[in-house]
Amino acid sequence: MNDAFESETRRRLTDLLDEFQQSASPGPFNYGWVHQHDGKHHGLHVAFGCMVHGNEFGSLPAALRLIAALRSGAVTFGGKVTVFIGNPEAALENRRYLEADLNRAFLPSSGDTHEARRAQELMPILDAADVLIDFHQTILDTAYPFYISAWNPQAWHWARATQATPLWVTRNPTTQFSSGTKCTDEYVCDRGRPGMTLELSEKGFSADAEDLCWTAMCNALRVADAVSAGAPIETLASSQPDFQFMTTVYAEPFDTPAKMLRSGLVNFQKVEAGEPLHAEGTPPMIAPRDGALLFPKYPTRESDLAVAPWPNEVYRLIVPMGVHPTQRWPAP
């Protein structure tokens, strides 16, 4: 951990996590890092996930703000709200995870790591949720906040009605984000309910991340109250602008630790077909077509090699979808 994290950010993070624990109210869940509020007017259950990746803690201030507002009555909601913290232990180490990626571990059995055990603790919350928004942040700077989830008509309606951002990076609903794994949103959608991941900003605390997270949570609760009162989610969604949809057309495999991107690449940076993306003297990586970068990665290196375990992908290349997802992947 670097000194700046230790002296400033870590102190704030520790204070906020302590505050969350003091306000924890698990309700029916056997999990320590959860707060549940029940408005007792209807049964719709909205869950908000924070810090499934430990060092993506920019949603935490908004989560505490929501808990306080629900308790004071400044924000009202007639159903159930669950706010959970996914991996606070990794957060306190300023790490994405301790042993394995928690957001790949929502499977019947995924081993005996800290994150595999944590996924089993969180699954009952996801099983109970009627709607999930899981808040994440990107490793590097991002030009825009964006939803990123497989195409799911229910999730589309809820995300559009919530209207947190006009951009959604989506994919074929039959494909996983990472083969052989399962994310929180995939787990919820597999159960026939809308699950969405919202990337707020570059990882860490920021006013932009807090404000966007707060807006998304309040909007989602307002929409849920309207749905419980009889408003069709399709009607609520159609009253809001639709998304700009983008999709992945290429993922560069991290098949050798010698691969290294040239410096300074960030999310949504435009590249052209044939453009070199590799650092000088490293294995070539050439943009296969025009598009924009998503999730470029610069893992820790020793002796010019990425330190294991290195990521599955060096970067993704995304492009605007030429047709709406309802046409590309029509419902059966």
> Residue 309 has what pLDDT?
85
Q: Which of 208, 193, 81, 69 is nearest to 137 (CA)?
A: 208
pLDDT (mean) for 219-231: 98
Q: In the chain, which segments carry CATH 2.40.50?
A: 248-321
Considering the segment(s) 248-321 as one domain, its CATH architecture is Beta Barrel (2.40)
Superfamily of domain 3-238: Zn peptidases (3.40.630.10)
pLDDT-derived band of residue 26, with 50, 70 and 90 as boundaries? Answer: confident
SS3 of 326, please?
A: helix
Ranges of CATH 3.40.630.10 domains, the chain: 3-238
User: In the predicted model, is pLDDT for residue 298 greater than 90?
Assistant: yes
Tens of pLDDT, residues 80-105: 999 999 999 999 999 999 999 999 99
Q: Alpha-carbon distance 93 to 96, whole Å? A: 9
Residues 110-135 have pLDDT tens digits of: 688 999 999 999 999 999 999 999 99
Sequence-separated (6 or more) residues with CB below 8 Å from residue 324:
242, 245
pLDDT at residue 3 is higher than 70:
no
Per-residue model confidence (pLDDT) at position 291: 98
Q: What is the mean pLDDT of the chain?
A: 95
**Amino acid code (one letter) for 20:** F
What confidence tier does 4 reach under pLDDT thresholds 50, 70, 90?
low
All residues at 6 or more sequence positions from 80 whose CB lies less than 8 Å from its CB, including other chains: 27, 36, 37, 38, 39, 43, 44, 45, 46
Give bridge partners of residue 35 from the DSSP assignment. 25, 83
